[in-house]
Chain A
Amino acid sequence: MDYLYSMSKIFFMEKSQSNYDRLLAAIIENPQLVSIGDYNPTDYESIDEALNSDNTVVKALAMFILSGNKSETQIYNEISNFLINNLV
């Protein structure tokens, strides 16, 4: 229910939020991600906060969201290498 509630929040998000923030909000509370990343989703309300996080999963998620116009291989290599180096 909490998760669905958060989804409904996405739908009527603040207009000031960027598309990246909204994407993050749509994903960050996913129970599997929370479980694997062991983080508190309420700590991350913006993509900047996620990118600056010490949590590897949250930061990788932010990198993925901010991947922009890079090629798939570039994105994969960057995130994959980051995870390989930082996952404990």
Chain B
Amino acid sequence: MFDRRLVQNFDWVLLLVLAVIAATSLMNLYSATYGLDDAGIPRVFMRQLYWFLIGFGVLLLMTLFDYHRLEPLAYPAYVFSLGLLVLVLMLGAVTSGSQRWLSLGGISFQPSEVAKFALIAALARFFSEHEERREAYRLRDLIRPFLIIAVPCALILKEPDLGTALLIMLVSFSIILFAGVRWQSLALLSTGFLAAVPFIWSTLKVYQKRRILTFLKPEMDPLGAGYHINQSKIAIGSGQIWGKGYLEGTQTRLHFLPEQHTDFAFSVLAEEWGFTGSVFLLTSYLLLIIWGINIARSSRDRFGMFLALGIVAVIFWEFVINVGMATGLLPVVGIPLVLFSYGGSSVVSTLAGMGILMNISMRRFMFQ
């Protein structure tokens, strides 16, 4: 099973980019949590370091088998992830009003992270099996993929975790659009969505509505709901070109910046490293995504291509939404910056996804 060609084809670029991002993340986390504990290295930093080490281990693990073996496992994995989502609704710990965490032998994780990749795999299998030889899919061809998407989304919305549900929808629709939809169907779909907006609005919780309103006009309430986004913009903007210097960010140090090691980790970097540092990070992610798309392009089969694309879409959307939020372009939805914010399940599951991407990359020259 182990092939010398695999080692030759090992995607060092991908690994390098990931390593750079991970290192930047750790360095930034150190600053964001510096001084939270009384002395020594911040606990959060140490934990994240372990999570990265575990994550990279999982990444390597994910390269050890041929990703084609995942195709028959996609549906069972999907069903399994649905089971986890139901379980979290029954047994999950309630933190600040939502049930997102499941505890398993002392390790807490978010089943939605698992569901995210299981869903991608399921969609990849569907589109691999149901190849549309004409140009695009009709709406009636897409009923099954829609169902595949809808079930986990509904469960995640129930937690409630609007951000993750939104992300899963964006990723799924990216895959569907990539698969190709007839423009008539697309028009019908968008009309239907627009018609559903008032209904969706009515199902939103008060705090969710307020977040969206605050996004539309953050200065409305500078000490209330608009506080976070204003402080984040101040942090980013005050970094100017070269930044205030590592560990010198006043917005960070004096805690004007909220959620600085999770949702607003990017703002910490932007404050301390300025435009220069921000663009450096942006470039790293751009490189990662473009490289991911290249892997998709070079993959020799539909399953691999869709799988790679789905994984890349996760990175893309999480990055765009988080940075868009921190810079005030998008409303505040609780989506951490992928591979950069503090958070064990996210890091490990994302790196697992990266492992699969690597797997696809390594086997791009293999013909079956």
Whether A and B are associated in the same complex: the answer reads: no
